Structure 1
Amino acid sequence: MTKTSYPIVWDLDVFFKGGSESEELRRHLDETKERLATYADKLQQFTTPTSSGQADEVANLIEEGSDISFHIRQAGAFVSCLEAQDMSDAKASALRSEITELSASYGSAFNAFKQKLSKAEENVWEAIVNHEKLSELSFVLNEWRDSAKEQLSEDEEALISALSVDGYHAWGQMYNTIVGGMTVNVTVDGEEKELSVGQANNLLSHENPEVRKDVYEKLEAAWKEKESLFANTLNHLAGFRLNTYKKRGWDNVLKEPLDINRMEQDTLDAMWGAITKHKQPFVDFLYRKAELLGKDKLEWYDLGAPTQKNNQKLSYDEGASFILKHFEQFSPKMAEFSKTAFEDAWIEAEDRPGKRPGGFCTSFPLSEQSRIFMTYSGSMSNVATLAHELGHAFHSYALKPVHPLNRRYAMNVAETASTFAEMIVADASVKEAETEEDKIALLEDKLQRSVAFFMNIHSRFLFETRFYEERKNGFVPASRLNELTDEAQREAYCDAVNSTSPSYWSNKLHFHITGVPFYNFPYTFGYLFSLSIYAKALEEGTSYEDKYIALLQDTARMSVEDLAKKHLDEDITKESFWEKGIELCKKDVEEYLQLTSK
């Protein structure tokens, strides 16, 4: 690990040369469309199996479908990278629409196949599930069967899928288009700058309170100006979902997200119940933070404000070395994997204009590689974010020996591997802080994450569940969305914040994403679940590595309740499990309060 200069811009040419003008990508998409058309015809001719002798045919169709899905996802991952690295790439946006349509066509055809399959008699089904090529997929196959029984007829589900391209996904794309063109003018260090909303959001953690206040007010005004447009996107997304649920006979709006996350309602209730009971230490943290900023209560724009100047700045190479050093102490395999990611330009980290805000990790299934997107500016928080995304990439890597259909893990467990990796680096940074001031700043950064998962995400969950209940009765206007947001934030933060962000429903991308409903509670699940894994890793050191990888390899082939029972010997439908993770976070609060009492 002596390398001192890693590429800071990712290599995408290894997948398709030429970016959004790539001829290779064009051929790939055209060939995939042709293959999909032939495959869809096969699926249409396929009839519900009536004998155990058809198990071989089923296995071959599943194998072919899995390969076509990989081709679609390979192109989708590439286009996601293009859109993120340059928000003005209009050609990439057009390709996104094309891939969305291709994905919907595949989904519709494959869903019809799953429905036909699910109607097989019990003895035929048993033969299929126990077939030599399919026995390792028993969990996924039975999941398909159960899911198909709760859906409408093949024709009706195919119609919903076809209409979703322009009647559902298009609203999400419209949201991205509007936000992509938004800018705000703010004054920083005496200089007026025109910034994208993503760049402006980053200034909410600026050390100057006047800058934070100005940015907050400018952003609120910008979202307010377009709130009627965003009210339309949000209401129509929800309306499409609710109408689909109603047709299927589903009354609970959480049914789909819980099913997607392979999770029981009891588990979700236990998690939020434990968090709600133990918020006081984090309220104390917020009040201490306000005190250090010379206030009685924090304003919304103070939540990300630093109370201490953290002088630790790491170059990209230094940040990479820090990550590799500490990964090595827990998992040499994760360290070696991450070294490959740094050396082979898997990471887009350059700090330049025109990039999308935030960070993500995307997987290229045909190439068995990942790509990580972020903007690195040298803070320890950036280092933790980079470790987080490397955790996602390692999860995909750990699943390489597993059948492709057993790699489709849900978002809640997806956030487990990433948060575990982030925890290693965040903890190490606190322990290795050079000064007490740096230690306080890093502890504060760590606690900001607890506040985000226990309070911010909770407010999103409260808002979204209440909005969906009201949406059942008709269109919810922007004014009411603002009220619901304000109420949810005050409740989730236990009134420890003086002001709220009423526009949060419009400025938080997660509410407008069509791929995943309720893109909130899985983050908190992953955070607390990973704390239990981290506690075991601290206890056992590198000897825990193989157990950790075994857990990751099971994340897509059992419910989260069974996963926890098998690998942690825990019942996660009980609040006591979640309280163990919260207790670890409380220790950070105690240390912070002690250090800042001076």
Structure 2
Amino acid sequence: MAELAESTPVGSEGIRWDLSDLYSSLDDPQIERDIKDALSRAESFEEKYRGKINSDTVNPPLLLQAVKELESIQEQIGKLLSYAYLVFAGDTSNPKHGAFLQSVQERATEVRKHLLFFELEWIALPDEIVNTLMHHESLAHYRHFLEHERRYRPHRLSEPEEKILDEKANTGSRAFRRLFDEVINNIRFKVRLDGKTKELTETETLTLLYDADRNRRKAAAKGLTLGLKENKHVLTYIFNNLVQDHAVNVRLRSFPDAMAPRHLDNEIDKATVDALITSCEKNYPMVERYYSLKKRLLGLKRFYDYDRYAPIFSEKKTIDYQTGKEIVLEAFGHFSPKMSEIAGEFFDKSWIDAEVREGKRGGAFSHSTVPSVHPYVFINYTGKLRDVMTLAHELGHGIHQYLSRKQGYFQCHTPLTTAETASVFGEILVFHKLKESEKDPKSRLSLLCSKLEDIFATVFRQVVLTRFEEKLHNARRNEGELTSLRINELWLEANRPMFGGSVVLTEDYGWWWMYIPHFIHSPFYCYAYSFGELLVLSLYHKYLQEGNAFVPRYLELLSSGGSESPERLLFRVGVDITDPDFWQGGLDLLRGMVEEAVELAGNVRFE
């Protein structure tokens, strides 16, 4: 009989977030009051403004008043939805949490029914009237929001159709996404360690893939595969249905292809994304060269998928939570005292949930909640170096969200392409702090290799995931419902080109598409990670060139949120994303890191 794993204390035990700035508990009477108030306000909003937005008589004062009222109602609903999701993420195994999330989603849909008309009337308004309105100075703050809404004009349906789709999603796509979370988070992966079979969470199992002991890595890979295969029927069914649901939306809304809705959300054109992906794929030999080097460093005859994240030296160093906190705050503070001060609030005010526990969702995220409150950071801290990087990553998000609150609910959120800017920049700051303070060549090489692998996972692997999604959506459209084995084939087809001949992908690895949440929650999200990483490499290079003069412009970029398009915002800090040489510049910096690793490896003595 398998036994539950016992974790070594790393200082994150008991580090839970305090959600009381949202609501005190599920029983907080303010929840019901807010839901009823939001519905009442939405009904009044509809009664007051229906027929007056798409009208010859609409004027700047009326439009401004309507947008402000709409924003306030949406923020009220956003606060409720944020609380419901954060409670659920903290313990997905509690039926009350799932029921509460479902209830809030359903009641939020009721509220949105009364608000939908505004968007549809606004996008139906003739261009000549819109142009006059948009040039009025009173609407300057909301200009980008209003412009962006009209970009969806060709893809919106009639109001009754939009209402039906939104309501049906609660028992359709939203329900399948919740089911995916519950299935994955409740799997206990059986891993054979030290002669005993232990039941591990997804986080604990994936952590073992970074273990110095190859047998433990292999056991973790086997346990992960077994756990996924045991749930292949339901997970494959979820994937098939959500891919088909996406295809139906694409068809109904007259998008040209499956990726087009994401490009529109990201305010980026297909040509720019294609240029990014092509540039990354042309540089796949860099990945192959690195893993060939790592194979030699580890002294392996064959280098398997479960060897990719092995440390090159068998240091079993644990970084406790307090030390990880100090590393991040010091690195942030060296760049900008303001960044360190904001990050400190997350620790001091219990805005972070860091412990690993039963029922808790895997992975990590920073949830912006709403501008009237503050962000919350969610991680599973196990004491590894990569957990320190994850902490820096999510706090980078948190700082971005904290600073952009001043833009208000409608414009505080950034497109996915720039959403990773602060998070990846935070990682870079921590990496360089650790690297500069490390004098031992072996430790420097180990740190550099670890960072290279993180960047490869963020740049090249995300391109692989995007290519897999393309293959998956195309196959579902052309072949009908797909079997698990067919999806395995597509997964391996997408992965092999990145590694060339450097990594042997096992048959078991073919099942590992099943646990990746981005495919479920945010179709075609992944290329935004590649965009963000290469963007940050370029921004960090500018910082090295310009020094402290760069800092205020960078913080202003974060504070701008989604108040302008990514292209305009980045132009302020001297970045032109339409320049073909831009992406290659970031890749050249990465190539320099690979060369540094090769050089360091030549100077290190192996015992």
Specify if TM > 0.5: yes
**Residue 34 (structure 2) pairs with residue 28 (structure 1):** yes
SS across alignment from 1:8: coil
**Residue 512 (structure 2) pairs with residue 504 (structure 1):** yes
SS across alignment from 2:153: helix
Residue of structure 2 in register with 1:405 after alignment: 410
Give the TM-score taking structure 1 as reference length: 0.93
Residue 10 of structure 1, CA deviation: 2.1
8 A Cα contact 1:387 1:421, kept in partner: yes
Residue of structure 1 in register with 2:175 after alignment: 170
104-113 or 346-355, which moves further after superposition? 104-113
Q: How does 1:41-190 map to 2 (within 5 A)?
A: 41-42=47-48, 44=50, 46=52, 48-53=54-59, 55-190=60-195
Residue of structure 1 in register with 2:17 after alignment: 10
8 A Cα contact 1:456 1:493, kept in partner: no
1:221 to 221, 226, 249: 226
SS across alignment from 1:246: helix
2:317 and 2:591 mapped to 1: Cα distance?
25
335-344 or 402-411, which moves further after superposition? 402-411
Residue 7 of structure 1, CA deviation: 8.4
114-123 or 518-527, which moves further after superposition? 114-123
CA shift in 2, pair 1:259/1:103, >3 Å? farther
Q: How does 1:541-552 map to 2 (within 5 A)?
A: 541-552=547-558
Q: How does 1:156-555 map to 2 (within 5 A)?
A: 156-310=161-315, 312-473=317-478, 474-500=480-506, 501-513=509-521, 516-555=522-561
SS across alignment from 1:295: coil
CA shift in 2, pair 1:555/1:496, >3 Å? farther
8 A Cα contact 1:310 1:438, kept in partner: no
Q: Deviations over 1:400-453 (max 9, x none)?
A: 332432212112211111101111001211221253232222112101112212
8 A Cα contact 1:199 1:357, kept in partner: no
* C-alpha RMSD over aligned residues: 2.4
CA shift in 2, pair 1:119/1:5, >3 Å? closer
189-198 or 211-220, which moves further after superposition? 189-198
1:582 to 575, 579, 587: 587
8 A Cα contact 2:355 2:381, kept in partner: yes
Aligned residues with identical type, % of pairs: 26
Give the TM-score taking structure 2 as reference length: 0.91
SS across alignment from 1:185: strand
Amino acid at match of 1:585: L
2:463 and 2:254 mapped to 1: Cα distance?
28
Amino acid at match of 1:59: L
2:581 and 2:207 mapped to 1: Cα distance?
36
Residue 45 of structure 1, CA deviation: 5.5
8 A Cα contact 2:39 2:111, kept in partner: no
2:302 and 2:28 mapped to 1: Cα distance?
53
1:417 and 1:449 mapped to 2: Cα distance?
16
CA shift in 2, pair 1:214/1:139, >3 Å? same
Q: Deviations over 1:71-116 (max 9, x none)?
A: 2222222223222322322211112112322444455544431111
Residue 256 of structure 1, CA deviation: 0.2
Residue of structure 1 in register with 2:5 after alignment: none
SS across alignment from 2:89: helix
SS across alignment from 1:381: helix
In structure 2, the gaps of 5 or more residues are 1-10
Residue of structure 1 in register with 2:3 after alignment: none
Q: Deviations over 1:456-513 (max 9, x none)?
A: 2122111101111122232222221111001111123334320152112212111111
1:367 and 1:151 mapped to 2: Cα distance?
30
The alignment covers a number of residue pairs equal to: 590
Q: Deviations over 1:518-552 (max 9, x none)?
A: 12111111111111111122223333221002222
In structure 1, the gaps of 5 or more residues are none
Amino acid at match of 1:528: L
